Amino acid sequence: MAILGQIRSKPWLLMGVIALALLAFLVNPDSIDKVFGKNPDVLGKVNGEKITREEFNDQLFVLQQQAEQQGQPKNGLEEQAWQLLVQSKLIKQQFEKMGFEMTDDLFWSQIQFDQMFAQNQQLFDEKGNFKLQELKKEVETLQNTNPEAYSQWLKTRKTIEYRIMARQVFANISTGITTGKKEADELMKERDQLADIDFVKVDYASYLQKNKIKVTTEDLKKYIDEHPVQFKTEPSRNLGIAFFPSLPSAADEAAVQKEITKIFSGGTDASGGKENFQNTTNDSMFVMANSDMPYNNAYVPATQMPQGLQGKIETAAIGQVFGPYKEQNLYVLSKLIDKKPSDSTLSNHILISYKGAERSTATRSKEEAKKIADSLMAVIKANPAKFAEGLKLSDEPGAVERKGSVGWTTPQSQFAPGYLAFLANNPKGATGLAETSFGYHIINVEDKKSGAMGYKIAHIVKTIKPSDATEAETDKKARRFIQQIQGKSFNDFVNIAKKSNYQYSNAKSAKRFDGQLQGLGTDKDGEIIAWAFDKKREKGDTEFFTVDGTGDKIVVYLNGKQEKGLADPESVRDQIETVVQNKLAAKQISAKIGKAGSLDQVAKTFATTKQSAQVNMLNPSVAGAMEPKVAGAAFGIAKGKTSNPIEGGTGVYVIVKKNETLNKQPGDAKQFTESVTQRNAGMFGQAWLKSLQDNADIDDYRIEIWSKLGTQQ
């Protein structure tokens, strides 16, 4: 299963232009269907085409695997997955409108160009030919022998099909993008024609420093109404959040320091004896009895020591104790137990996995896996050359191509303990069987070499955490705050939180499936969002939440409910307030300028200066600012005439055109035309896809389903 193994080893490759997966519904579809009269397995529609729960789940699974590969949180991916699935449907619909069909022949002919395969040289032979027949044979074998793995392949195939469709659609669209001679001539004219102007600019920022303009909610709404396409939005909630972290007090820290100091040098046993960390004769048992973290028997290089031991451990004597020292929220005692050169080992292995083992897709039982491993071990023991042949049975992705190698490892490598223990206890050339959480490994120790000095350290670790009294005080503070703001306005909520120096944030447009809240980021975020979207919830409602495990408290205020349609003005104030304020300033400035008699008069009125510039239409830069309206006006007024006020992006301009010149740029028309076509093709794809989505008939039933189910996420 070499080729399919390459896929399984890189699940993040399932992502592409179009990907697939999302939210698991832990409910009984049949019971919901009876209650609601609607199929809960249909989560929405795109131009009438269903988005099923199965597709949704597959999309989420892929995104979660990608996040896990990159060390990112796996929660909060629901909305991203939904959007990807919507785009997949739109691409498929366009693919079919163009008269294409996703046949088996098309799939297999295009698979080698997919990003999952095209960049992996191990999937091509020495002549550069794709191993298509080998892949087909592997899929056929899976279908006949491993239903679970075959099901995974079918999900993978679906994502590949969407990417193939996307490539076909975009290729055909790009082919149709051309630049006509007339268009090219006009663009070259805009590039080569220059206008010399004198101008006065009344800068918005400078004007607003002297003339305060308050932007009202009505001003924001008017701007939104004038630009509806930009502000189409899905349902969201505006939430005020006060966060009360349960942090240890100075007294809590002092208590932990006192406790660890007693462990260092005082008596600790129940009989009143004087055993401590300095004199104990059983370090591992002492650590087990007194530390918040387990004993680690490994040898660690000096470079991996805690900051409190840096530069000290290399010259320390066996048995020497360091500390107590502080590492972030921990107090630590460290004792040097032993030191020796740390071996590096080069090894190969054959993995025989089973159903339920870590990261396993195998369907065999553990007993069957053990029987296979024992039989294979006997064969290899009789003839070591059979190891290479046995790699074909390995459940490790890419085992044959890599000859089972895991590279060089040390006792500190992030490997299963059972695997590392085998390497530590066996010499170069040894082959044997080891068990880990991944299954049974037939391991060959290919080589060993001594490395840097390794140090075995016993650590006593005590976490600095809030006491019960501190947590009670945090709880009291949060509950007092929610009582203070009960029935009050949102401004009261904000003012009291800020005045009391509480951690305050405002999630202005929290979506139902965001998973995480801007400015918060706790395990309670999803529960808070579900609370805010409850149909019974009204503006002004408040709620109290406790974060599991930490004891942190959260007080939430529902400041606004945005339903599907145009965005609530206040929810987008941060995005558009400056633009709207500039527009209001432009009106005032233009009114004061009126029909100016001269640039000097305008400059005097606003205490600014007259400037000169040379502009063209293709690159409309004026004194470092891109101002297309100014460039357009420069070619639209007669020579020597003073323009009316021009509302630019950075200020209001008044200009006088002095002259027009032609500065022919080098290069022929064909070359210029090709560059314009290439630029347009590069920009068109994403804009076209966005346009498809903006104009599609998209039905999203997710919130409706969850509302009827209660808090189910």
pLDDT tens per residue across span 51-69: 888 888 888 877 777 777 6
Task: Put residue 46 in one of left, alpha, beta given phi > 0 → left and psi -120 to 50 → alpha.
Answer: beta
* Contact yes or no for 35/95 (Cβ under 8 A): no
Distance of CA 560 to the CA centre of its chain: 27
Domain boundaries 235-247+466-563, CATH class: alpha beta
- Select from 132, 146, 118, 160 the least CA-distant residue to 395: 146
Q: What is the total residue count of the chain?
A: 713
Q: Give the integer Cα–Cα distance in Å for 278 and 144.
A: 63
- Report how far residue 168's alpha carbon sits from residue 91's, in angstroms, rounded to the nearest whole number: 10
State both tokens at 707: 């509302």
End-to-end CA distance of the chain: 37
Overall fold of domain 186-232+574-662: Chitinase A; domain 3 (3.10.50)
pLDDT of residue 529: 92
- Strands (DSSP E) contained in 370-527 are 405-409, 431-436, 439-463, 503-511
Integer Cα distance of 562 and 539 in angstroms? 11
pLDDT of residue 272: 52
Is 344-451 in the same CATH topology as 235-247+466-563?
Answer: yes
Written as one letter, the residue type at 284 is S
Assigned CATH topology for domain 344-451:
Chitinase A; domain 3 (3.10.50)
Report the 10 Å Cβ neighbour count for 628.
15
Whether the model pTM is above 0.75:
no
Measured at the CA of 686, the angle between CA 682 and CA 690, to 5 degrees, comes to 155
Are the beta carbons of 556 and 237 closer than 8 angstroms? no
Residue spans of the domains in the chain: they are 10-36, 42-177+698-703, 186-232+574-662, 235-247+466-563, 250-342+456-463, 344-451
pLDDT of residue 214: 94
| pLDDT lower than 50: segments of the chain | 1, 7-37, 268, 270-271, 710-713
CA distances from 505 to 266, 500, 552 (A): 47, 14, 15
- Going across the sheet that includes 651-662, the strands are 610-615, 193-203, 651-662, 646-647
* Residue 251, helix vs strand vs coil: helix
